[in-house]
Structure 1
């Protein structure tokens, strides 16, 4: 579990609510790297910290969640093509 961070800890670090993270998971915007099959607890990689920061910054700029999701998907596609 050293490489995973709980939903509560990530929410505290990025100053968002755990419900926001659950909502982002439900809409497919920001998914945890692992969900415990027994407890349903969500865990994130510390590497996802930056992605959540990007989402927060884009929201502050007025982007809608749908636009952010599309932006991140395009960014991922371009990075895969580049590699």
Structure 2
């Protein structure tokens, strides 16, 4: 299983903070996982649009082509700004 975490506005809009996703042969990158989740329905597709998210794999900010595998933790969160 891949442990998926949602933070900040992503968590609020989806109404959940985490879920477990079965690792599969078609889920090989963070982008594959994002696309799989975004395909659940229109709301998930809008919230998980790649241009509105950052991704971390195993607590390291990552690119969308970062490999993911069984046992990994993948977190999705909006870009953060400060000042």
TM-score where L is the length of structure 2: 0.27
Question: Greater RCO between the two (CA within 8 Å, min separation 6)?
Answer: 2
TM-score by length of 1: 0.27
Greater helix content: 1
Q: Return the index of the structure with the highest Cα Rg.
A: 1
Structure with bigger strand share is 2
